[in-house]
Amino acid sequence: MATVLITGVNRGLGLEFIRQYAAAGWTVLGTCRDPDNAVEAKALAAAEPCVTLYKLDVGDTDAIAELADTLRGTAIDVLILNAGVMAERTGLGTLKAEEFQHVMNINVVAPAMLIQAFADHVAASEKKVIVGMGSTLGSIGGNNSGGLYSYRSSKAGLHAIMKNASIDLKEKAIIAIAMHPGWVVTDMGGHGADIQTDTSIAGMMAVIEQLTPDDSGRLLTYTGEELPW
């Protein structure tokens, strides 16, 4: 049975990831900052023996190391770096350094630390895939509207990390990609977004399942299309 580890499963994309992977028969390991208050994820874990929740603040590097140690010996077929944040003040004239730094820490530094901590877990698996939750908003070539300074910067940084990982982990036969989930109806995406979470997650899971080593280092959408860096 394949195993997936997903960060940030208390709501939105992460919650739908654990729901669909559990339905597909995978062993599902989900993390969030406060599992006791993650009502829907906690209920799903109670109903599905294949789902286990772990407490993890991805901004805490010691906690990342502790979880990696807890899961030592567990082969992780797919590692999905889903946890992320967006600052309230995002344009020139309203930027706040502390908010900007928080976004960069959660969206850029944390994924790098997670990859470092769990690379050997992934390398020990059959599928050997790491997915960073990127965004078309992090595409420099696709930026025609400006704004969203911290979020755009963080996703561009995440894209760079996934490209780096695709090179540095090639010797471990790990496939590392960034994925744009689409504009999804979530707390972050808003109610006016284009697609629902079930459509996004089903699409990403299908793309992940079909990945080959030649895909490593690419920025793909939930439909499998390639985006410009």
Q: What is the pTM of this model?
A: 0.95
pLDDT digits (tens, 9 = 90+) for 21-37: 999 999 999 999 999 99
The CA dihedral of 198, 22, 128, 107, to the nearest 10 degrees, is 50
Structural domains for the chain: 3-221 (3.40.50.720)
Confirm if 77 and 92 have CB atoms less than 8 A apart.
no
Confirm if 211 and 177 have CB atoms less than 8 A apart.
yes
Confirm if 169 and 120 have CB atoms less than 8 A apart.
no
Q: Give the separation between CA 165 and CA 174, rounded to whole angstroms.
A: 9
Q: Sorting pLDDT into bands at 50, 70 and 90, what band is 90? A: confident
Q: Which region among 157-161, 183-187, 215-219 has the lowest average model confidence (pLDDT)?
A: 183-187
pLDDT at residue 193, as a whole number: 58
pLDDT at residue 83, as a whole number: 97
Q: Which residue has the higher pLDDT, 14 or 190?
A: 14
Q: Sorting pLDDT into bands at 50, 70 and 90, what band is 185? A: low
Q: Give the separation between CA 21 and CA 114, rounded to whole angstroms.
A: 20
pLDDT at residue 172, as a whole number: 98
pLDDT digits (tens, 9 = 90+) for 94-116: 999 999 999 999 999 999 999 99
